[in-house]
């Protein structure tokens, strides 16, 4: 074949890059369409330690999780006043203390709590809450104030900032999302090698000819003003490099736990497979949706919490069996909690603060923070007691080992969860 | 990037002397799915005005109601009766059966719409209705009943080229919308805010142009909206007749009054034009000052949707060079564009069409949430790009019919009886490119699928790929042409329009 194979002249290691640079082939000559891992790695100052790096798994509960029915204040008469039909009966609550407990569908999470592997941060929110799904999700993902619009995500800024450089020949994405679209959390000022993995089995036999011609086509010089074309080329190059590796890892993985047979369970299984394969990915993002329970929420919410709980517990068991649990912290978040008083449709409308879960073998388990006051009139919302950026600050400083002030545009006090 | 025009010139008509094949190609690709050479030729000779009139007719063409939808609607009253008489076990069986039936009817509707929209003469108006459906969002996941989904899109089509306030009012009565945004749960003394919020935030005004109090009060005005066997029904006893204060106005407002009040707000003028830009023109919103003149002009004409379409798609801004070849095709546009460019028929098999679309990130009638699809770069990640590549491969591979289910085989037969039997490209279909000159073949492939062969490096890569086979026998040459065409259609250039 006479046509160029990009692998013939794209450097694959730092040494090769330097060799090419000294021959006058500068980075700029191909940085617009070189696989981004390569661009980033050649810019990186110091390589990150390969082993024992910390991994964060984010689990989005999309739609707005009903916090009051997740962590139930079963001794509070106001709770049952606000929830005449939706209130979880005291005797069915899975107790975590004298006055609080988990929804009965959370048996596996309750066990993790008992074993010291689950922390619960109560009543997390932010000032001047927004009740739009999109805006509030955006606020959570960008870690912005509710009156400020920021286009980058907090994970993206962590990656921008990353204290850690990548090893020059690491071909792995730094962020992997198991959602159809790239989460805004991952968007940085700089582009980062991220990889999207849609659920389900996607066996794929790419023909060699196709792979090679497409690599060449993706590598042609383009119009600098056409940013979408550059973006497409960039993504395609990354994809071609990563996909064969990922597919073989997922296909060959033998989990040591029974994951629930649903998309969420499958997403967590795939995350475990990539972690077990030693991917240098720092952040994974999975999503479970359906929490927007405006009507008849009792069964639906119980099902969702069971899916969440079963999936997380299987994931933790699997990591433990692979002795990888010390490397991973999993954290949930949702754009808002729901209105304390139930509505006339046996559901709940958009609210404000809610608890979130932190799971892992190296966390400080238990109930953190203070529960919300429920001495509320009709349609009055919860007042948060823990700013969500304090949770992020904690994860950044104490788990990802990165100063948080610049990433979060402010100094937030850390919590005792890690 | 900032437009090359000043705001005051942006919405002027494109001068006649600038109407040429390149402009026609841009219009056809953006208003519809792609631009075949036959359509470009016709549009170029007919002129901009005539072309716009044809693309956006006074009445949008109608997809005939699929029989499965009709039957579902007809059978509903009897089903409800049967269900209420059934015992626990029978009830579960009936409900399971109903779910399966609904799923089949929805898939059938999806495939029929794709077949309808793939016809060149329907493309632009079908896409316009699809655009309206991306503003007035409903999702099958929650609505469930495909007869209601069908009805919702009928409402959008009926009002697609009329006054926007009438469309908004009709949508508030759409049974699918009433179910999707919980209006059926909303009653006097216990209003559900979901619809009122999305009406202001996502349908007509945009975030920041109303207060929480406006929403609470507007929700009261929409109490009592119900559905009965797929039709709108107003339950007067559930309606809150009391005084409401909305946007500073005080009165016993009804839902229609609220919509009329919303259309008096300044923000309504630029909201839909802004959505139009996002859906059809550019991921980057226009700088401040650009949509305002269009919005003011639109308001002056009573918010007529057809007038807006003709103005927008005929404007100098729309044809400005900075918008050419820069927009990422949605999965639906990518697929229907392929069908038209390859002169194919839609494969009437859900798992050959709807599943790939979902993997590309777009499940028909089921956007991810009430905001609709985000569009732009959010369509593209490694997983969706891989799904696009698989879609292209599948269009060049003969369907192995012996492996199909019986109902799928019947669907193929039925399509063939209608004269729609070309589902994949056979190698012989590429014979027009199979000459002895690899460079020339590369150029012609590019002109057919990309509209131009101007990119020398790209052309050289394709040519060099084809060169080793140029002295081979015809079947070997055709095989290489197929591989080249596939890579071209998978390449970044074909994802843009």
Q: What is the DSSP string of B186-213?
A: -BTTB---HHHHHIIIIIIS-TTSS-HH
Confirm whether B161 is domain-assigned. Answer: no
For residue A263 the two structure tokens come to: 């998309």
B250 contacts chain A (CB < 8 A): no
Inter-chain residue contact A349 with B194, CB threshold 8 Å = yes
Q: Provide the pLDDT for residue B16.
A: 95
- B352 and B318 in a single domain? The answer is no
Euclidean distance between CA atoms B196 and B210, whole angstroms: 11
Q: How far A184 CA sits from the closest chain B CA (Å)?
A: 10
Instruction: Compute CA distances B109 → B355, B376, B416, whole Å.
Output: 14, 26, 19
Classify residue B199: in a domain, yes or no: no
Chain A positions in Cβ-Cβ contact with residue B185 (cut-off 8 Å): 294-295, 343-345, 347
Inter-chain CB pairs, A–B, below 8 Å: 159
The pLDDT score that the predictor gives to residue A199 is 45
Residue B322: half-sphere exposure toward Cβ, Cα within 13 Å: 14
**How many CB atoms are located within 10 Å of the residue A42 CB?**
18
Closest Cα of chain A to B121: distance in Å?
29
Residue A391 lies in a domain: yes
| B187/A344 Cβ within 8 A | yes
Name chain B contacts of A299, Cβ cutoff 8 Å.
none
DSSP secondary structure letters along A278-303: T----EEEEEEE-----SSHHHHHHH
pLDDT band, very low/low/confident/very high, at A133 (cuts 50, 70, 90): confident
CA–CA distance, B173 with A142 (Å, rounded to integer): 37
**Domain count of chain B?**
3
Instruction: Say how many residues make up chain A.
Output: 418
Residues of A in contact with B383 (CB under 8 A): 180, 195-198, 202
**CB-based contacts of A325, cutoff 8 Å, min separation 6:** A316, A319, A360, A361
pLDDT of A16 strictly over 60: no
Count the neighbouring beta carbons within 10 Å of the beta carbon of residue B420.
17
Q: Report the gap between the CA of B185 and the closest CA in chain A (Å).
A: 6
Does an H or E element contain A15, and which? Answer: helix A14-22
- Domain span at residue A215 reads 6-398
Domain assignment of residue A299, yes or no: yes
Binding-face residues of B in 91-130 toward A, CB within 8 A: none
Q: Could you tell me if B281 and B323 are in contact, meaning their C-beta atoms sit under 8 angstroms apart?
A: yes
Closest CA of chain B from A266, distance in Å: 16
Smallest Cβ distance to B1: which of A218, A225, A229?
A: A225
- Nearest CB to A2; choose among B1, B194, B464: B464
H/E stretch holding A135:
helix A133-142
Weakly modelled stretches of chain B, pLDDT under 50: none
A295 vs B185, B389, B457: nearest CB: B185
Q: Is the same domain home to B343 and B402?
A: yes
Note whether A226 contacts B325, CB cutoff 8 Å.
yes
Measured CA to CA, the distance from residue A291 to residue A306 in angstroms comes to 12
C-alpha to C-alpha distance for B27 and B48, rounded to whole angstroms? 9
How do residues A373-406 score in pLDDT, each as one tens digit?
A: 999 999 999 999 999 999 999 999 999 999 999 9
CA dist B373 and B131 (Å) reads 10
B243 reaches A (C-beta below 8 A): no
List own/partner pairs for B116-123 with CB under 8 A and 24 or more apart.
Answer: B116/B63, B117/B33, B117/B332, B117/B336, B118/B33, B118/B336, B118/B339, B118/B340, B118/B345, B118/B346, B120/B32, B120/B36, B120/B39, B120/B340, B121/B54, B121/B61, B122/B61, B123/B31, B123/B32, B123/B33, B123/B336, B123/B340
Residues of chain B found within 8 Å of residue A61, distances taken between Cβ atoms: none
B394 part of a folded domain = yes
Q: Tell if the pTM clears 0.90, that is, is over it.
A: no
Range(s) of the domain holding residue B280: 8-55+266-323
Q: Measured between CB atoms, which of A3, A231, A232 is closest to B461?
A: A3
Tell me whether B194 touches chain A (CB under 8 Å): yes
Indicate if the alpha-carbon torsion angle A129, A133, A134, A137 is positive or negative: positive
Q: Write the DSSP symbol of residue A35.
A: -
CA dist list (Å): A351 to A71, A296, B393: 15, 17, 47
Please check whether residue A206 lies inside any domain of the structure.
yes
β-bridge mates for residue A62, sequence order: A289
Distance separating alpha carbons of residues A42 and B42, to the nearest angstrom: 52
Residue A366's φ and ψ, nearest 5 degrees, are 115, -175
Q: What is the pLDDT of residue A180?
A: 62
B143's enclosing H/E stretch is helix B140-143
Q: At what angle do helices A263-276 and A227-252 cross, to 10 degrees?
A: 90
Query: Residue B274: which residues within 8 A CB-CB, separation 6 or more?
Result: B206, B285, B286, B291
Question: What chain A residue is nearest to B201 in terms of C-alpha separation?
Answer: A132
Return d(Cα A230, Cα A236) in angstroms, integer. Answer: 10
**DSSP-derived secondary structure for A297-366:** HHHHHHHHHHHHHHHHHHHHHHHHHTT-GGGEEEEEE-S--B-SS--TTSS--B-S-EEEEEE-TTS--E
In a 13 Å sphere around the CA of B374, the CA atoms on its Cβ side amount to 13
Q: What is the DSSP string of B253-276?
A: --HHHHHHHHTTSTHHHHHHHHHH
Are A343 and B461 inside 8 Å of each other by CB? Answer: no
Asked if B377 reaches chain A (Cβ–Cβ under 8 Å), the answer is yes
Rounded (10°) angle between helices B67-85 and B88-118: 170
In a domain, B279, yes or no: yes
Whether A350 is in a domain gets the answer yes
Specify the residue for token string 């388990």. Answer: A365
Q: What are the start-end ranges of the E strands in A126-254?
A: 175-177, 194-196
- For A327-382, how does the pLDDT look when each residue is reduced to its tens digit (9 = 90+)? 999 999 999 999 999 999 999 999 999 999 999 999 999 999 999 999 999 999 99
A217 with B488: Cβ contact below 8 A:
yes
Most confident of A181-185, A226-230, B31-35: B31-35
For chain A, the first-to-last Cα distance in angstroms comes to 56
Q: Within an 8 Å CB–CB cutoff, is residue B476 touching chain A?
A: no
Last residue of a domain, one of B323, B350, B371: B323
Cβ distance B187 to A1 less than 8 Å, yes or no, reads no
What is the number of structural domains in chain A?
Answer: 1
For residue A330, list its beta bridge partners: A57, A359
Residue B242 forms part of a structural domain: no
Does residue B352 lie within any of the structural domains? Answer: yes
Do the beta carbons of residue A58 and residue A333 sit within 8 Å? yes
pLDDT score recorded for residue A134: 77
Does residue A43 have a pLDDT over 90? Answer: no
Of B190, B283, B381, the CB nearest to A344: B190
What torsion do the CA atoms of B486, B492, B494, B495 make, to the nearest 10 degrees? 120
In this structure, the answer to whether residues B398 and B434 fall within a common structural domain is no
**pLDDT above 50: residue A17:** no
Q: In Å, how far is B5's CA from the nearest CA of chain A? A: 17
Q: What is the pLDDT of residues A48-57, one digit of tens each?
A: 434 568 999 9
Cβ contacts of A187 on chain B, cutoff 8 Å:
none
Chain-chain contact of B490 with A214 (C-beta, under 8 angstroms): yes
Q: What is the CATH number of the domain that holds A182?
A: 3.40.720
Domain end: B323, B347, B370, which one? B323
**Any domain includes B3:** no
**Considering only alpha carbons, which residue of chain B is nearest residue A247?**
B383
pLDDT value of residue A177 = 86
The residue from B417, B447, B479 where one domain ends is B417
Distance, CA of B123 to CA of B117 (rounded, Å): 5
Cα–Cα separations (whole angstroms), residue B36 to A295, B41, B228, B337, B449: 48, 9, 45, 9, 8
A243's CB contacts (< 8 A; 6+ apart) are A204, A206, B382, B386
Task: Kindly calculate the radius of gyration of chain A based on its CA atoms and give it in whole angstroms.
Answer: 23
User: For residue B481, is it within any domain?
Assistant: yes
């Amino acid at each position: 074949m006479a046509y160029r194979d990009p692998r013939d002249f794209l450097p694959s290691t730092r040494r090769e890059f330097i060799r090419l640079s000294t021959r006058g082939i500068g980075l700029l000559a191909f940085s617009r369409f070189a696989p981004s891992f390569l661009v980033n790695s050649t810019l990186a100052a110091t390589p990150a330690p390969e082993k024992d790096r910390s991994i964060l798994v984010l689990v989005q509960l999309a739609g707005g999780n009903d916090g009051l029915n997740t962590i139930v204040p079963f001794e509070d008469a106001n709770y049952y006043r606000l929830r005449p039909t939706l209130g979880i009966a005291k005797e069915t609550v899975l107790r975590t203390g004298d006055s609080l407990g988990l929804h009965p569908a959370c048996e596996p999470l309750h066990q993790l709590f008992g074993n010291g592997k689950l922390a619960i941060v109560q009543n997390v929110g932010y000032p001047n809450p927004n009740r739009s799904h999109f805006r509030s999700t955006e606020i959570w993902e960008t870690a912005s104030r509710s009156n400020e619009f920021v286009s980058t995500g907090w994970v993206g800024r962590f990656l921008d900032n990353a204290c850690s450089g990548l090893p020059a020949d690491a071909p792995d994405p730094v962020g992997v999302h198991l959602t159809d679209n790239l989460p805004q959390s991952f968007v940085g000022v700089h582009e980062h090698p991220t990889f999207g993995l849609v659920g389900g089995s996607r066996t794929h036999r790419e023909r060699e000819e196709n792979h090679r011609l497409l690599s060449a086509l993706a590598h042609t010089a383009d119009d600098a003003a056409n940013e979408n074309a550059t973006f497409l080329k960039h993504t395609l190059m990354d994809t071609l490099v990563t996909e064969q590796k990922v597919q073989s890892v997922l296909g060959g993985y033998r989990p040591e736990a029974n994951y629930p047979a649903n998309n969420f369970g499958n997403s967590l299984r795939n995350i475990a497979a990539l972690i077990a394969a030693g991917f240098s990915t720092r952040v994974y993002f999975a999503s479970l949706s359906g929490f927007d329970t405006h009507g008849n929420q009792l069964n639906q919410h119980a099902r969702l919490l069971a899916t969440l709980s079963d999936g997380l517990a299987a994931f933790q068991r699997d990591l433990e069996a692979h002795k990888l649990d010390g490397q991973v912290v999993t954290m949930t978040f949702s754009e808002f909690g729901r209105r304390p008083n139930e509505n006339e449709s046996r559901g709940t409308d958009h609210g404000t603060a809610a608890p979130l879960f932190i799971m892992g073998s190296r966390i400080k388990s238990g109930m953190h923070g203070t529960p919300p006051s429920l001495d509320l009139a009709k349609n009055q919302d919860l007042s948060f007691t823990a700013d969500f950026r304090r949770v992020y600050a904690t994860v950044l400083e104490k788990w990802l080992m990165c100063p948080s002030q610049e990433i979060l545009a402010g100094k937030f006090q850390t919590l005792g969860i890690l | 990037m900032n437009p090359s025009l000043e705001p005051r010139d942006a919405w002027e008509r494109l001068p006649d002397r600038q109407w040429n094949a390149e402009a026609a190609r841009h219009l056809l690709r953006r208003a519809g799915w792609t631009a075949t050479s036959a359509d470009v030729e016709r549009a170029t000779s007919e002129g901009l005005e005539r072309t716009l009139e044809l693309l956006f007719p006074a009445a949008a063409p109608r997809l005939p109601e699929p029989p499965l939808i009709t039957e579902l609607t007809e059978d509903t009253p009897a089903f409800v009766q049967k269900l209420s008489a059934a015992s626990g076990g029978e009830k579960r069986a009936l409900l399971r059966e109903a779910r399966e039936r609904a799923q089949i009817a929805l898939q059938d509707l999806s495939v029929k719409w794709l077949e309808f929209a793939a016809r060149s003469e329907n493309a632009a108006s079908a896409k316009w209705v699809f655009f309206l459906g991306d503003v007035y969002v409903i999702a099958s996941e929650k609505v469930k009943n495909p007869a209601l989904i069908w009805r919702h899109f009928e409402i959008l089509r009926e009002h697609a080229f009329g006054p926007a306030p009438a469309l908004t009012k009709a949508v508030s009565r759409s049974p699918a919308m009433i179910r999707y945004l919980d209006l059926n749960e909303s009653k006097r003394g216990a209003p559900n805010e979901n619809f009122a919020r999305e009406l202001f935030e996502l349908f007509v005004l945009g975030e920041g142009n109303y207060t929480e109090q406006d929403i609470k009060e507007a929700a009261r005005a929409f109490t009592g909206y119900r559905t009965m066997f797929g039709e709108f029904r107003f339950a007067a006893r559930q309606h809150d007749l009391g005084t409401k204060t909305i946007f500073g106005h005080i009165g016993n407002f009804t839902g229609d009054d609220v919509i009329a009040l919303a259309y008096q707000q300044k923000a309504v003028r630029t909201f839909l034009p802004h959505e139009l830009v996002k859906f059809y023109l550019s991921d980057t919103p226009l700088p401040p000052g650009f949509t305002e003149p269009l919005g003011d002009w639109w308001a002056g004409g009573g918010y007529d949707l057809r007038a807006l379409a003709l103005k927008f798609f005929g404007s100098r801004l729309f044809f400005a060079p900075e918008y050419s070849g820069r927009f990422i095709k949605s999965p639906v546009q990518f697929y229907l564009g392929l069908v038209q460019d390859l002169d194919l028929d839609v494969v009437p098999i859900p798992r050959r069409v709807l599943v790939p679309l979902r993997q590309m990130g777009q499940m028909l009638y089921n956007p991810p949430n009430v905001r609709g699809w985000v569009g732009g770069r959010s369509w593209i990640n490694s997983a969706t790009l891989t799904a696009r590549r698989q879609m292209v491969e599948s269009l060049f591979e003969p369907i192995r019919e012996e492996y199909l289910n019986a109902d799928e085989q019947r669907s193929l037969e039925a399509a063939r009886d209608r004269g729609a039997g070309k589902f994949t490209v056979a190698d012989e279909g590429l014979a027009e490119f199979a000459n002895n000159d690899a460079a020339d073949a590369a150029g012609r492939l590019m002109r057919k699928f990309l509209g131009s062969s101007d990119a020398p490096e790209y052309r050289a890569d394709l040519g060099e790929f084809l060169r080793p086979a140029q002295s081979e026998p015809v079947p070997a040459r055709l095989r290489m042409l197929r591989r080249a065409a596939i890579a071209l259609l998978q390449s970044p250039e074909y994802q843009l329009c």
